Every structure is written in C-alpha cells, then in structure tokens.
Amino acid sequence: EGPESFPPLRNEAAVRVLQGRMKGIQGHCNSCYMDAALFSLFSCTSVLDSMLFMPFPLCDRNVQGILRDEIVNPLRRTGFVRANSVMHLREQLTDKGQCSSFTNAEKDPEEFLNLIMQQILGIEPLLKLQSGGQKEQECYCYQIFMDKQEDLVVPDVQQLVERSFLSSDLKLVEIPSCFIIQMPRFGKEYKMFSKIIPSLELDVTDLLLDSPRECCLCGDVATLECS
C-alpha cells in the first residue's frame, strides 16, 4: 500500500478548512519563511505534488515522508500543522544541509527551496531564464528585484513580475511548469509595498523569449520590441 494522499483544497473547501483561528502552519522560532513557502506550494495546488511521491534519483525518502505525512497531508485534511512537525523537517534539513542554523534562524525562502528541491529531492530546475542574450540560467524560483516605483502604491503580482523582468532585461526561455515567485521583502524596518494584490492568473506572453506577439499598432506579427 502506497503513502496516503489528500488533494489540494479548492474553492469552498479551501475557505471552510483554512479560515479561522488555529489554521495554517504554526510558527515557532523564526520558521515564518518556511511556513509561508510550504503553505504557498501545497495548500491549494497540486503542481508540485511530485515532490511528495516521486522517487527522484537523489531523493531522501525520510525528508519526503515528513514533508508529505506530517505537513502537507494534515494541512489539506484539517487546515492546521503543528510547529513540532515543521521543526522535525528543519532538524532533518540541518542534518542534510551544509548549514547548522535551519532550526533557529530566519532564512531566505530561496535557500530553503534550493536545499530541499536540489540537494534533498534532486528535482530538475523549474525555471530557465536568459538575461540580455547571455547564457541561460536554471533556477527553482524567481525573486522580484526592483527599485522603488512611485506610481505603484498597491501593485499586483503581474505588474511586479513584468517590471522586475524589464529592469533586469530577463526573459523566460520556455513556459515553466511551475513559476515560484518571491515577493520583494525588506525586513521589519522597511517594506517597499504595504500590500500586494495576488494575480490569480499570470500572463507570461511578454516575458517569453522569441515568442510571436502582435504589433500594437497594426496587429501583424511584431518584428521589434520596445521596452
């Protein structure tokens, strides 16, 4: 008998299971970066469920089992994950990783994702990016970097991704199977945006390398792009 699986929460079920007190992933000892990442990746989408079940070449089955049985399944089943379950995962990451502070320090979510996806599960990179005609780069997530924009007070994710790609002269080499985006964050003292509106769909047409697009003037296939 294989491992138990629970589907991601959708629509009314998501509201019913996830709304209210004592819901979500319980924080403890600077775990917020990991709690937020895990909730985003698994609560309402199955796009990364291969992480929970696939026997990848480098896969550490113990970590995979903790992730599936102690975090994702309880989150989808009851809407709540206890802090000691996340601490169990953090202890395993400390054992497997090169860093001894996964159990007590705040980390960048990208560091956590790279460790668990690349070194522990051995998943192929999810994104292929190219900057200014240089050699393509592979990565697991994309962090939005941009200067302060006076005209953006309450931006949505679509605006932030497009402006970030533009300022870094980036293009997607291909449509990603999963596009993990890390919002701009500047610690407790300063936040670039007090709120960011989630874009429920992301249009990557203008972000794709060599993608045929129509001319905004005549409607034919465009031959030039003006940034």
| 36 pLDDT more than 90 | yes
pLDDT tier for residue 135 given thresholds of 50, 70 and 90 = very high
Distance CA 65, CA 216 (A): 51
Mean per-residue pLDDT of the chain: 90
Q: For tokens 């019913």, name the residue.
A: 16
Q: What is the pLDDT of residue 98?
A: 67
Distance CA 114, CA 128 (A): 15
Number of CB atoms found within 10 A of residue 65's CB: 13
pTM across the whole model:
0.87
For 103-119, the pLDDT digits (tens) are 888 888 999 999 999 98
Residue 141, C-beta contacts closer than 8 angstroms, at least 6 positions apart: 109, 110, 113, 126, 127, 180, 181, 182
| 96 pLDDT more than 80 | no
Number of CB atoms found within 10 A of residue 223's CB: 6
Mean pLDDT, residues 204-214:
89
Domains of the chain: 11-120 (3.90.70.10), 124-226 (no CATH)
Q: What is the pLDDT of residue 187?
A: 64
